[in-house]
Chain A
Amino acid sequence: MNIHQPRADIAETTLAIVEELKGLEGPLLPILHGIQEEFGYVPQECLPLIARELNLSRAEVYGVMTFYHDFREHPAGRHVLKLCRAEACQSMGGDQLAERAKRLLGIDFHQTTPDGAVTLEPVYCLGLCSCAPSAMLDGEVHARVDAAELEVLVQEARR
């Protein structure tokens, strides 16, 4: 996850991704997803290239990128722990679990631990509402997360 590449490669990789996807109808979101998958975030220097290739203004591309919660402007930690904050998880102690995670990691939502290991993010529903509270660590889903399992997840993420 979230591998950081040297910046020299960014332009070349971006153009390759754009080239592959620009034939799609409405290609901008797939392109941004592709770039984030590659770099772990959407580097600023990609945006003018995408704009040029899609015949859009830089402002439009920037506007789209910043509209969606998924796209990051900066690299995340090596691991991303997402905790569901929505109602079904709240009904099963999701708020308390989130507070616990913040204490264990010493950070708030949208922050990364100083050692760069873990980014903590809220998510509004993983569709696991029947086995709440739920979490996602680096794309892997976990349900009925209690204090003990949270500790295991945090330890795993800390590595």
Chain B
Amino acid sequence: MLILTAFIIAALVVVAQIAGQRRAATLAGDEPQSLHSRPIYHGLKSALWTGLVGFSILIVASVVSRQLIDTQLRASLPTDVQGYADIKKDRLISDAKAVGDGDIVSAPLDEGYKTARDALAQDYLGLKTLREWGISIGTVLASLAALFLTYRGIHRESRARNSSERIIRGGLFVSAGIAILTTIGILFSLLGETIKFFSNVPFYKFLFGTHWSPLSGVFEGVVDENTVGAIPLFAGTFMITGIAMLVAVPIGLMAAVYLSDYASPRVRAWAKPLLEILAGIPTVVYGFFAAITVAPLIRGSGEALGLSVASESALAAGFVMGIMIIPFISSLSDDVINAVPQSLRDGSYGLGATKSETITKVVLPAALPGIVSAVLLGISRAVGETMIVVMAAGQGANLTWNPLEAVTTVTVQIVALITGDTEADTAAGPAFALGFTLLCITLILNMFALRIVQKYRMRYE
């Protein structure tokens, strides 16, 4: 129903565009220059207003009415279920809605529950029909009104071009705003749970504790503050990140240098896209590549040398993560190396420097800020990477310096906490605290990277 309404509004938008354009063209007659704005802008203005009014009312009304229905249902709960616990009331309402929508419902708890549910479902159906009709008719009428008003408002002097530009600007502003607001929203939702967690556990126990086993106190329903030390997780994260960067930075950088300064245009034309495909491989695929291929390989060769290697080692995860990050480093570095002006290279060649001298002594130092920021972005990617480590790094919170042992990372533990079957309240606290800390780390890294890039830009423009 609501989808149909959306289609009707879309059709009205098209009508508005065509009608507005026609009317303006007719008004102009044989003198197109007598119009302030070209007919297409008159049509555009009409279409934009029609769409804007229709779709914004549609969206706002559907969200608000859903809330209203919930409130209404809660208010009209039969008296015999008023004594239910809140969580049971929630379940009753969602079950009633499911019955009303004809969805699959879990078996009712008892007879009273069932009658209450079915009665509520009837109420819900009525409200739902009312809501859909109300919204549909309302929005279509509003759209029509907008269409009519703008159509009537078309005059030779009306500044349709300026107003449609303004509307477009507004639309773009809203899009940018949504992205920013979402980020802020995520931050705050994390912050709320994190603060709740830290009200139970002192933050120094979390940041500096070395024992991680957050669910050991779960049967008492409390978090034991002595078992939520995140040091082993961060140590594991940084060890794997370190190994990954040891792989990614040299290889990525050298690939970038080759692509920008050594490769012939033909090689570059196919090698660069190919390298960027590497960035498009889903991390899940990297993950099982690490777990199924690389880890046994490392284990096998380690045993051949007489070393004991865990089947899930930090080395395997780090190595594969490094391969995953190569295209980031190489692609970003390639861009900054290319941005070093040719005149600097010429200056160096003109003094008799060889290609490698020019690159190591002039080009790379000039591109260094950009390369550093590429590396920082790579690090923040590695710190937040999840799939590879879930599959290849292990679960045990092991505090060790040995890369051949299994370690765990922050992201792996978040996954374990959230996907496990422990009660959400207990598991969420540590998970949110971890997530928040991780976010802070990557945020700081990204900010550093951005600042360095900005400084670098100022130098060459």
Q: Do A and B bind each other?
A: no
Which residues from chain A sit less than 8 Å from chain B, CB to CB? Answer: none
B residues with a Cβ closer than 8 A to A are none
